[in-house]
Structure 1
C-alpha cells in the first residue's frame, strides 16, 4: 500500500526535483516508510511506500535488471502475486524479493497494456515503458478501490497522483472548483463520476486502463469483468465471505478489524476471529468508535455484543465531540473533494486510533450497503409508482437535500445555470432510466457499484485510512463477493436477508437480524442548540460568504438554520452539513499549496 505519482511530457527537460519533492510531501502520510523518485527526459515516476508485503524488500519504483526500460509503481495489494510470480518464473523471469509489486515489470513485458486483467487485488498501477516511443500505462482495480487522479495541461503534459492535494503541488496544474460542484454535493453528497469537483482534474474510472503518450490525449478503456471462478460461484455467501476474509487477514504486518455494531462489520469480525482460532493465532483486536456522552443512535452496546460473541480483544475508542470541528477540516483536506457524509469524521478518528495502537491493516465491512442493498434509496426506487419518476424517488433518497429543498435554496442565477448545463440529479436519473429491460433493482445496483461505492465508502477508506498509514481491506469489495451481489440484484430475495442468513450462528441475533442503519454520527443532534457543530456550521454559512459565491440565498439558509434550531431533524441537518462541507472545501482548495500534516 503506497502513494504514487508521476508525469509524462513531450518536452526533453528533466522534471524539477524540488517540484517532485513537494508532490511527494503532500501524500507522505500514506507512505511513511520509503520515498523514492526516478526521472528522465520528459518523465518522472515516484512512490511513497507503506511497507505491508515483504517489508524488507519491494523498494519502489520497481525495476528488474533483465528488463531495462520498464518501470512501475503500485498503490494497493495484489493478492494473487504468488501464483503470478510462479508463472512468470517459469517463463524465465527472476525476482529479487517476494513483494507483490516486484513482478509488475515482468507481467507488463509479457502482456503489455493488458497486464492488469491478470491482477487480483485492490490496486492503482502506473507502468512507464521507455523501450521505444515512451508511453505510460495506468490501471485501477475493478471497483476503483485505489483512486488515481490526473491532469493534462495546455502543453500536453500529463500528471497523476494518488491524492488531489499532491496533484495540485505540480507547478503546471491549474484548476478551480467546478461551478456545478455545490449542486453535486447537495444531490449526491460527493462527486461520483470520472470528473472531480475541480476543473480539469479527472479520476480513472473503476476497472479502467489508460494509455498515455507524450503530448497526446490519453486513451481510456474499461476492462471486461473477469468470469467468476466456478468453485466460488458454487459456494454460498457465507463460505464465499469466509474465503475472502481469510485471504485478506493474512499480512506481514499486524491486522485488526473495525466493528461498528452493524451486520456487515460484525460478519467480517466473526469470520476473522474464526480464522484466528483455527490457525492458533491470538484473538484479533477490534476497534469501535464511541462518541462521548449520550447521543441518539449509538451502536456501542451492539459492538460490545459482537466482540463478546466473537471473543475478540475489543477497543472502544472514545471521541470527544469538541474535537469534531477540527476533524471536519482535516478530513476535508485529506479527501480533496467535498464530502457531505458525516461518516468521514468517524472514519478518520477510528483509523487514527488503529494506527496509534500499532496496526497497519484493518478489515472492514465497507461496501456491503452499496453491494447488498437494503437501504432507503433502494426501497424508494422499488416502491415508486410505475413511470419515469421512480428514478427521481431514488435520487431524492440518495442525496443530502431533496430536489424541492435544493431549488428553494438556490438563487435564480444558479437555477438558470443548472437548467442550461443539467443538474447532477438529471444525469443520475438518465443513467438509471437507460438500464436495459427497465429492471429497477438491477439499475440501482449497477449505479451503486460503478459510481457510489468508489466515490463514497471506498474513497473514504482509502484517503482517511492512509491519512494515518492504515491499509483498509474490504472483503465485501472482492470481485467474487461483488459478483454474488450483482447476481442477487434481480431476484425477489432482499439482499440484506442473504447477509442475515450468512451471519446466523456467528453473531448475536439482535445484530444478525436487524435492518440496515447507516453507520454515521448523529448529525441532527450535533447541529442543534448546544451541539458541537452548530457554531462552526453557522460560521461557514455566514451571509457574506454565501453572497460571494452567489449560488444559494443567504436568507433561506438562515431560515433553514433557524428551523433546525427549533425542531432538529436529520433532513435539515444533513442539508446544512452539505452546504457547510462544500463551503469549507472551497476554502481548503484555495489553501492547498500548504503541505498537509496531522497537526493541521
Structure 2
C-alpha cells in the first residue's frame, strides 16, 4: 500500500516531484523512491505491508530491462502469479506483491491488469521501444484512486491524491463552476469528474495507455469473474476474509455493530484463532456523552460473540472543530457526509494502537441493495416514478433549499447548463436494462468509488493504515451478480448467512448507517458552530460568488430556532465546502514555497 505519482510526455522538475511526494508522504511514510528520464517520471511513497524488508519502488527486474512500475494497493493473488512467472524464467529479488508487475506486463502487455486480484492503482513506463509508453490501471471497483491531468499538449500527470497532483506546476487548480451544485446534489462529485477543472480520476476497472503525441486513451475492462467452486455466500466470504487477513504486519477489524462489518469480524476472528492462535482486535468509534443512534452495545455484542479484543474509541465532540479541517484536507475534494470525521478519527486510533491493516465491511450495501433509497426504489410499483425520489435522496441539501442558497447568477448558469439533479434523473430514466440493474450500476460504478471508497482510501491512508474490503473481492462480487434478485435486495442473502454467526439482536436490527449525529452537535455554543459561522461569513461567500449571503444567514437563523437533520446537514455540507475552498486557495498561494521546502526535505 503506497502513494504513487508521475508524469509522461511532459517536463517535471525535481522540485515539482519532491513537492508532489511531500504532499502525500503521510500515506507512505516507510520509504520514498523515484525514477525519471527524458519526458517521464515515476515515484512512490511506500507503506510497507507485504515483505516490509523488500519491495523497493519503483520496481525494476533484471529479467525485464526497460520496464519500470510503481504500485499503490495490495495484490492478494501475487503468490499464484509469481509461481506462474517463475515457470517462465523470471527471477524476483523479494516476496513483495508489486515486484512481479514488470514481469507480468512483459508477458501479457496491457492486459496484465485483468489478471490482478486485489485493490490497486498501477503506473508503468515501458522504455523498450524507441518511444516510451505509459500504462495506468485501476482495480474493478476503484478502491485505489488515481487522479490525472491530461494537458492540451499531450502531457499526462498523475498522483494518488488531488492535493499532490496540483503540486505539479503545470497542473491548474481551478474549481469547476458546476461542481458546487454536483456536490450539494450528491454529496460529492460523482463519476470521474473531480471538483477541479481538467482533473479526473481513472474509472474503476480501467486501463489507460499513453504514447508521445497521442495523449491518454482510457478503456474499461470486463469485470473479473470467479470460476472457483462454492456458491455458498458465507463460504465464499470466509475464504476472501482469510485471504485478506494474511499480512506481514498487524491486522485488525473495524466493527460498527451492523451486519456487514459484523460478518467480516466473526470470520476474521475465527481465522485469527485457528491460524495465528490469538484473538482478533476490533475497533469501534463512539462519542463522549449521550447521543442518538448509539451503536456501542451492538458492536460490543459482536465482539463478545466473536471473542475479540475490543477497542471502543471515544472522541470528544469538542475536538471536532479542530479535526474537521484536517479531515477535509486529506479528502482532497469535498465530501458532505459527516461520517468522514468519524472515519478520520477511527483510523487515527487504529494506527495509534499499532495496527497497519484493518478489515472493513464496506461495499455490501451497494452489491446487495442494502440502502433504504435502493429498497424504496425497487419496491415502487411498476409505472411509478421511482427515479425522482431516489435522486432526491442522494442530496446533502434538498432542491428547494439549494436554490434559495444560490446567487441569481449561479441559478442562471445552472438553468443554462442543466442542474445536476436533472442530468442524473435523465441518465437513470434512459438507462437500458432492469430497474435493479440500473440502480446497481449507478451505485457501484459512480457513487461507490467517488463517494465511499475515496473516503475510505484517503482517510485510512492519512494515518498510514491499509483498509481491506472483503465484499469487494471478485469472488464475492461475482457471486452477488449470480444470485436471484430477491436475495440481493435488502441484503437478504447476508441476513441468511449471518444467522447463527452473529448475535440475533444484530441480525434483527433495522439498518442504521454508521453516522455522526451532527444535528445534535452543530448547535449554539459549540466550537463546531463557531467554526461554521466563521467560515460561512459574507466575506468568504463573496470570494466564491455562487452562494448567497442572505440565504446562508436565513439557514443559520432557521437552524438556531429549531435544529433539524436537514438544516444541520446543510450547514455541515456548506462548511466542508468552504474549508476545502480555503485550503485550495492556500495550496495555490503556497505552491512555490512548498516545492522549495519539499525539495530540501527529499
Q: Calculate the TM-score normalised by the size of structure 1.
A: 0.95
Trace 1:324-363 onto structure 2 (pairs within 5 A): 324-363=320-359
**Deviations 1:115-160 (Å, cap 9, x if unpaired)?**
1011111000011001111110000000000010011234332110
CA distance in 1, matches of 2:576, 2:457: 19
Trace 1:277-316 onto structure 2 (pairs within 5 A): 277-316=273-312
Shift of 1:493: 6.1
Q: Is the CA contact 1:45–1:73 (under 8 Å) kept in the aligned structure 2? A: yes
Q: Match of 1:512?
A: 507
Shift of 1:556: 2.2
Shift of 1:215: 3.5
Q: Match of 1:591?
A: 586
CA distance in 2, matches of 1:413, 1:407: 11
Q: Secondary structure at the match of 2:452?
A: helix
Q: Is the CA contact 2:32–2:45 (under 8 Å) kept in the aligned structure 1? A: yes
Q: Is the CA contact 1:442–1:489 (under 8 Å) kept in the aligned structure 2? A: no
Deviates more, 1:384-393 or 1:347-356: 384-393
CA distance in 2, matches of 1:256, 1:118: 28
Q: Secondary structure at the match of 2:176?
A: coil
CA distance in 2, matches of 1:510, 1:418: 47
Shift of 1:82: 0.7
**Deviations 1:248-287 (Å, cap 9, x if unpaired)?**
0110100001111111111111111111222252101111
Q: Match of 1:8?
A: 8
Q: Match of 1:83?
A: 80
Q: Is the CA contact 1:125–1:139 (under 8 Å) kept in the aligned structure 2? A: yes
Report the CA distance shift for 1:531/1:512 in structure 2 as closer, same or farther (over 3 A): farther
Trace 1:212-227 onto structure 2 (pairs within 5 A): 212-227=210-225
From 77, 89, 92, the equivalent of 1:92 is: 89
CA distance in 2, matches of 1:261, 1:344: 18
CA distance in 2, matches of 1:491, 1:500: 12
CA distance in 2, matches of 1:176, 1:487: 44
From 143, 151, 154, the equivalent of 1:153 is: 151
Report the CA distance shift for 1:537/1:487 in structure 2 as closer, same or farther (over 3 A): farther
Shift of 1:16: 1.9
From 384, 388, 391, the equivalent of 1:392 is: 388
From 196, 199, 212, the equivalent of 1:198 is: 196
CA distance in 2, matches of 1:171, 1:329: 25
Shift of 1:295: 1.0
Report the CA distance shift for 1:284/1:400 in structure 2 as closer, same or farther (over 3 A): same
CA distance in 2, matches of 1:513, 1:583: 40
CA distance in 2, matches of 1:540, 1:380: 37
From 552, 565, 568, the equivalent of 1:570 is: 565
Q: Match of 1:38?
A: 35
CA distance in 2, matches of 1:527, 1:216: 51
Trace 1:61-72 onto structure 2 (pairs within 5 A): 61-72=58-69
Q: Match of 2:267?
A: 271
CA distance in 1, matches of 2:526, 2:457: 29
Deviates more, 1:374-383 or 1:569-578: 374-383
Q: Calculate the TM-score normalised by the size of structure 2.
A: 0.95
1:427 aligns with 2:423: yes
Q: Secondary structure at the match of 1:405?
A: helix
From 219, 235, 242, the equivalent of 2:238 is: 242
What is the RMSD computed on CA atoms of the aligned residues?
1.8
Shift of 1:226: 2.3
Q: Match of 2:458?
A: 463
Report the CA distance shift for 1:235/1:489 in structure 2 as closer, same or farther (over 3 A): closer
CA distance in 2, matches of 1:38, 1:59: 12
Q: Match of 2:556?
A: 561
**Deviations 1:362-396 (Å, cap 9, x if unpaired)?**
00111122222222211342344655842121111
Q: Is the CA contact 1:388–1:433 (under 8 Å) kept in the aligned structure 2? A: no
Shift of 1:496: 2.1
1:51 aligns with 2:48: yes
Deviates more, 1:185-194 or 1:426-435: 426-435
Q: Secondary structure at the match of 1:63?
A: strand
CA distance in 2, matches of 1:301, 1:321: 20
Q: Match of 1:484?
A: 479
**Deviations 1:449-472 (Å, cap 9, x if unpaired)?**
001111122111111111111000
Trace 1:429-444 onto structure 2 (pairs within 5 A): 429-437=425-433, 439-444=434-439
Q: Is the CA contact 1:370–1:452 (under 8 Å) kept in the aligned structure 2? A: no
Q: Match of 1:547?
A: 542
Unpaired runs of 5+ in structure 2? 598-602
Shift of 1:491: 3.1
Report the CA distance shift for 1:356/1:100 in structure 2 as closer, same or farther (over 3 A): same
Number of aligned residues: 591
Q: Is the CA contact 2:24–2:161 (under 8 Å) kept in the aligned structure 1? A: yes
CA distance in 1, matches of 2:287, 2:184: 26
Shift of 1:531: 4.1
